[in-house]
Amino acid sequence: MLECTMFEKKEDAMKKLFVLLLACFMLLGMNTPLDVFASTSKVWSYVDAPEGTIEGTTGTWSGIDIDATANGAKFNKRVDNQDIQINAQTKLIIPVESHQEGAEITLQLSGGEATVSVLENEYKSASQFITIPLSSEQTGQDVTVEFKTTAYLLNLSLSYLEAYPGVPEDIVAKDKDYTFEDNSVSIEQTKGTFDDILVDATNGKFAVQPEYSRVQINSGTILYIPVTSDEQGVSILISGVDNQSQAAEIQINGDNYYTNQKISLDIHETSYIKVQFSQQTYVGLISIDYKSDLGFEVPDVKAIDTGWDFTSNAANTRPEIQGGKDEYEGIQIDASSGKFSPRDGDTQINATTILYIPLAKDDEIAVSVNGNNYNGLKVTWDNQDITIGKEFVIANEETRYVPLKFEGEGSCYLENIRIDYKSDNQSISHTVRVGSSQEADYQTIQSALDHEISDAAHPLIIDIEPGVYEEKLEISQSHVTLRALSSQPEDVVIKSGFYSSNTFINGEFKPQDDYDVGTDKSGTIIVTSGASAFSMYNITVENNYNTEKKTQKDEQTPAVAFCSNADKVYLNNCRLIGRQDTLYVKGNGNRTYFKDCYIEGTVDFIFGDADAYFEACQLHMAYFNGKKNGYFSAPNTKKDGIGLVFYQCSLSADERVEDVSLGRPWQNECYTVTETTADGVTYVVDYDPSTPNPLYADVSSATQFIDCTMSHQIQNERWNKWTRKNKDGETISVTYEETVRFIEYNSHDEQGNLLNTDDFDVVLGKMAYVDDLDSYLSDTLTLMRIGNGLGLWLPNLDTYHPSEPVTPIEPVEPVIPEKPDVSEEPQIPEESWQTNPGDDHDSQLEESFESLKTPHIQLDISSHKVVPNVSLLVTGTDETYKVEKNDNQSDEVVETIGEKDIPLASSSDNSSTASHTIEAKTQNQPIIYIVCVLVGIGTIGLVIFLRKNKKIS
């Protein structure tokens, strides 16, 4: 009994000691949140390996059976290298006990790479480690590791997994970003936490560097990041680089990936994902993205037509985003693994970028995403494929953010996005006037464009008085209309002389003077991509560079008169005058409509990749001294575009033009190899007509002439191929003919006779006859998305006739205005004076107006004593003044009094004193203050009294 009692006391003491030690460990563990970790049951090292070589036989290694019986198999302990050489075909049979959490076998190599096979799965080394996970079902047996390649082994370990990292708690499917700006946590040779991430740096290092907004993660470090399931999917992005600023290799749940790529996770329940680092990596962001969580609330947006401009013309500054998120005019931008980079004419959108577009509820919505998708990215709207530049129609059952995704390789270049709600069909237009008359609001067209606002709800109409306006116009707002106050387009002329010399040095454009701005920017009128729904009536637009300001005698160069970059552009009864490159219709999917227009040029004078419809237009090929040939068209239509369509147009040419061609295919080229001489001349050294040029793989030039009157001067071959010069100066065709779409339907001569296709040797295109021309035209217009209905467009085709054609008193002086800063309100000086109501105030006011001689006068006449709540508003320009009586309390016009009829205040008491202040606002007069006091009869009486009493002389 005594011995037993002593033994029990010793046992109690041991228990107390154990509890005490355990308490100490728990206290220490309070400083390191991780006190539970995977236990390593066994490690087999090089030192324990059997001496010598096992080859063609079997052996053991501290409980591991070695099978080297296969041909070529070998297990060799290398003393000099302090490792073990294990050849392919060698097998290690490792006894693994049953364990409910599973186990992990780890092979550490001394160098090189290796591949092993375990339970029919292959595992490859990553940074000298091979990790083999075993599920709980795979434990409780002998596990065979078969070497598929020769390996040099330092050690082998078997770990039985414990609860670490366990199951995270309170994780919800909400996006989470881990950044490293504020915390200076450093975990090395131990375990710890960062936020809710478990960090196992037992064999590595995790050191936050807040001064660089990053964390240094060394090789051997493991992160356990908590996630939960999401029916729509979960992904992780780890943004970081290695020491060479390259993407670093990582393992996620045992699979190999790289940093800087968004990785989809297969998550069915709340758990930790295991991220292993095999090289030193500098991480700036760890982002968990749940697809069901957009990260922002329901947008506050109404079903009102809207749009976003992604060019430098945008009203607000576009953000530069790479590896992060931001917002632009209500659009939420996720460029965590992509890029959103503003440029002059567009915004570069890299693959993997997502734009979340705020969209209101509506039964039918027309959407267009416009720009250039040269790299062929997959673009989806609400996970449905779309085509850049093609309008599509959707229904939206609830107000929400809709994802616009870009997937693939490379970039897409956005110019604008347009949203057209079916329920929003109301607008209120406002009209201003340009010219030299008294009624004009502006002297120049550009000043009106700069100072007036225009959009779908408030369209701007600019009426232009007859005259010559030497201006270069840029239309950057949507729903702008230019109208001549004349039915004759010759009466209103807008002209400029900008051009492109096409001078390039080492691939960079080199302008020769201030007017040499390049083809894209040379237009006398440029309609930018954001200026959709532009229209113009009864106006002549001319680029006079080649006709009046030539660089050299008998030479011509690209000089655009009208350049359209927008969708839904309409010109009616207009004249476009130029020589080379007169009319440029740009933008795949954009629609332009020309009705009853006259278009004049010489070479490629109607060109571009937009869908352009010409109805009853006259196309005239002018003569240019030194140039005896010309081309009506030069489309670079994209494969999904319809191109240039001419219906019932008339084609003519100056009799001096010898070679008249319907057109040639711009950029529709085959594969070529070129060289450039020292003086900048490029020539072809090799080409393959059967292979498309990869630079223009998406080009399929398309022109149709339907029921048109053809000049007798048009050549027998009808069309021309695109040509270049070879090294010997010979002209060769570089056209990739397979994708060219040139055709004439039902062409006829000047006398109305149908042309016989057998009479022509058509090159590149074809001639055909259509019995049901109306049906064919209707189908073509539908393909062009021209017509009635949502998703289609049809402008008002009525010809505009001003009610009262205007002839200016003085001709408009040609002006090239400096573009004002539209962010500043114009400074308008003020003038005021007084007058006596007993005088002839009409004549006095008229004399005052005449003395001002201002282009724009606005007067506010307030009667302060007699009629305190009524003021008169006088507006006019030099000769005519419109007078309105306004109620100051309601701000409404109560009465229009008329021209030059300006009764001040009336009063039954003529002896009372009334004070009237007239304030005149003018754009070009100095500030003048003229103050008069209106003196009543009582005041005059006072003067007489003083004179009689000799108080005054």
Across 433-453, average pLDDT? 96
The yes-or-no verdict on residue 737 having pLDDT over 50 is: yes
Do 39-160 and 176-290 share a fold? Answer: yes
| Lowest-pLDDT choice from 338-342, 818-822, 851-855, 879-883 | 851-855
The hierarchical CATH code for the domain 39-160 is 2.60.120.260
R_g (Cα) of the chain, nearest Å: 41
Q: Which SS3 state, helix, strand or coil, does residue 448 take?
A: helix
| Confidence band, pLDDT 50/70/90 cuts, at residue 387 | confident
Which pLDDT belongs to residue 934? 39
**How far, in Å, are 333, 435, 458, 584 from residue 313 at the CA level?**
20, 26, 19, 20
Which pLDDT belongs to residue 39? 52
Which pLDDT belongs to residue 550? 65
Which pLDDT belongs to residue 12? 53
Cβ(590)–Cβ(611) under 8 Å? yes
> Alpha-carbon distance 848 to 920, whole Å?
10
Per DSSP, which regions of 79-149 are E strands? 83-86, 91-96, 103-109, 115-118, 121-124, 129-134, 141-147
Amino acid letter, 202: T
Q: Nearest-5° angle of CA 163, CA 166, CA 170? A: 155
Which pLDDT belongs to residue 389? 78
Q: Measured on CA atoms in the order 864, 866, 869, 873, is the torsion positive or negative?
A: negative
What percent of the chain clears pLDDT 70, i.e. is strictly above it?
79
Tokens of 216: 């240094």
| Confidence band, pLDDT 50/70/90 cuts, at residue 807 | low
First to last CA, the chain: 148
The yes-or-no verdict on residue 302 having pLDDT over 60 is: yes
Strands 492-496 and 540-543: parallel
Q: Where are the domains of the chain?
A: 1-31, 39-160, 176-290, 306-421, 429-538, 830-939
**How far, in Å, are 443, 832, 833, 842 from residue 853 at the CA level?**
14, 15, 16, 17
| Lowest-pLDDT choice from 169-183, 254-268, 876-890 | 876-890
* Residue indicated by tokens 């956005």: 414
Which pLDDT belongs to residue 195? 94
| Confidence band, pLDDT 50/70/90 cuts, at residue 5 | very low
What is the separation of C-alpha 191 from the centre of its chain, rounded to a whole number of angstroms?
46
| Confidence band, pLDDT 50/70/90 cuts, at residue 806 | low
| Confidence band, pLDDT 50/70/90 cuts, at residue 554 | low
The yes-or-no verdict on residue 598 having pLDDT over 90 is: yes
Q: Which residues contact 679 (CB under 8 A, 6 or more apart)?
A: none
Catalytic residue among 200, 346, 567, 604: 604
Active site residue 604: yes
> Alpha-carbon distance 166 to 833, whole Å?
87
**Which CATH architecture group holds 176-290?**
Sandwich (2.60)
Across 823-834, average pLDDT? 33
The predicted-structure confidence for 763-790, as pLDDT tens digits, reads as follows 999 999 999 999 999 999 999 999 988 7
pTM reported for the whole predicted model: 0.58
Which pLDDT belongs to residue 551? 59
| Confidence band, pLDDT 50/70/90 cuts, at residue 232 | confident
The hierarchical CATH code for the domain 306-421 is 2.60.120
